[in-house]
A and B are shown apart, each in its own frame.
Chain A
Amino acid sequence: MAALGRMYSSRREMDEHVFHPAISLLVPLVAVFAGAYLPKLAPWLMILDLPLVVVIFFAVARRSPISGVMTGALVGVLQDLLLNQPIGINGMVKAVVGYVAASISLRVDVDALATRVVMNFSFCLLQSLMLLVIYQWLLRDANVQTRWLHELLRAGVNTVVAIPLFFLLDYAKQRA
């Protein structure tokens, strides 16, 4: 209805969404909190990366690379603060994911189910790859070994969780 009451100059502009400030604040916080609390109930849930899913969702919904970078950086830093590692690792990775996701959303219909599946799976793997690069090349951490089968499984599980979560969060979208 909002689209009818306003003139849009492009398809891109029409597809841009905004969120209520409370949603923009609470959803990432809940994702970080759930990520820290759920593994206590079931240790295998450690494989989930809800903050990543949330960053991808907000980046593609807002269709703004700058917004994607900022969302990714803030969520990543919040995640880093709870870990035993230097602050900024997840901030860097998620900023890049947010940027790439928002850039892709300008060219591709990211609301289609198939696109969402491919996108979530790919960004999970991209995150694993970037983490490996940061640990091995930037931090020179010799202990880090990437288990690619595990990373594929992680990408699959996160994609399965992301799809219903995306549909749920779609209800919070408002036309820009």
Chain B
Amino acid sequence: MDGFFARYRNALVLIAVLVVFTIGLAVQVRRPDYGSREDGKHVRVFRYWAVALVSPFERLFRATGQGIRGIWHNYIDLRDVRRQNEQLKNDLNRMRLYQAAMAEDARQGQRLQALLEFKQQYIAKTVAAQVIGTSGSEQSRVLYIDKGIADGLKADMAVITPDGIVGKLRDVFQHSAQVLLISDTTSGAGVVLETTRIRGVLRGTTDGRLRILDVLPDSRIKPGEPVLTSGGDQVFPRGLKAGVVESIGQDRNYALVTVKPTANLARLEEVLVVMEKGAVAPEQVAATENEPETGARGEHLPQLEPETPDEAVKNAKEAPLPRPTPAVRQDTYSPGATPSAATLTPGARHDNAAPAPSTEAGGDQH
């Protein structure tokens, strides 16, 4: 007997290891919520150790890289800044005029929505996080971010960028969290095609692409059509950009709609984690327009005060018309600089008449 074990010792060790792993896999896969988010208690502890082992190095490398990039961009590589500044000023002036027109359209839309008692989920609070690492394998598409339980993050919170949705939180640790990308095969998001209003479930494929499942063939679906979140998954707020239709094929009875994500999932530096969503009437957004604007680095989007629908409608009617931001320096494009149409005479020449924004305001076109 001893001779047998001595002779086949190597193979027996391999078999023992494989048996242990197989049992371990069976126990994990047997969990009813496998593939959704939660690991077993012990598995979670092991994952926590691994992340705790790797993430300090990732933070260190990231901080070093950021420092070097900062020195280069902020002190050395400033050759075209002056020209860009001039161009941006011109763009800003043009945008002010455009904003005034858009604000009026928005107010009109809000009034109509108030009449229909339309309610929608809005992003109430977000936390900005830095991406510090990846899974390092094509087997699963996950990211690691530098915020965790200590920052108020919880599993299943939506992760987005200004460009579009990114994924949702899977495992959340004390100071880091694992983000399951929408391109992972176990991920899923409820989406709706913007123009055709066809609904489906957006899922990742093994090659990292996105596909809408369970959609019946429809000739109205065209490449380039925007895909938005439907809000039906209870993770992503409704109306966020998810991607654009890239191609349409057919698989048996269903259409194979391949979607290109609007967020660049391969090169993410910063993301926003949606901490709170509010089911509020859209006119309430108007009341928050004076609050600080939130960019990709912002700590939160405007807070929404709870209001009754009646008060909200009343406030919407009483809220002043949004005005464009005052110009730093008065010029021919600034609101108020253009004479009233009543003072103008057809055919007469006026020195102060403001030119059309699309042509004159763009100083770079001269």
Contact = CB atoms under 8 A, between A and B. Distances in A.
Interface residues of A, number: 45
B140 A83 contact: yes
Chain B interface residue count: which class? 35 or more
A contacts with B: majority SS? helix
Nearest to A64: B10
B134 to A, nearest CB: 5
Contacts of A33: 54, 57-58
B22 A92 contact: yes
Interface string A87-103: 11111100110010001
A160 B219 CA distance: 47
A79 B134 contact: no
A133 interface: no
B136 A36 contact: yes
B54 A82 contact: yes
Contact of A37 (B57, B170, B178): B57
A66 B5 CA distance: 13
A59 B21 CA distance: 20
A86 B133 contact: no
A98 to B, nearest CB: 9
Nearest to B23: A88
A144 interface: yes
Contact of B58 (A29, A36, A47, A138): A36
Interface of B: 9-11, 13-14, 17-18, 21-22, 24-25, 28-29, 34, 43, 46-47, 49-51, 53-54, 57-58, 61, 131-142, 144, 170, 178, 180, 184-186, 205-207, 266-267
The 5 closest A-B pairs by CB, nearest first: A81-B50, A35-B136, A43-B266, A36-B136, A65-B10
15 contacts: A36-B134, A37-B134, A40-B131, A78-B50, A79-B136, A82-B135, A83-B140, A84-B170, A84-B184, A86-B34, A91-B21, A92-B21, A138-B22, A143-B185, A147-B206
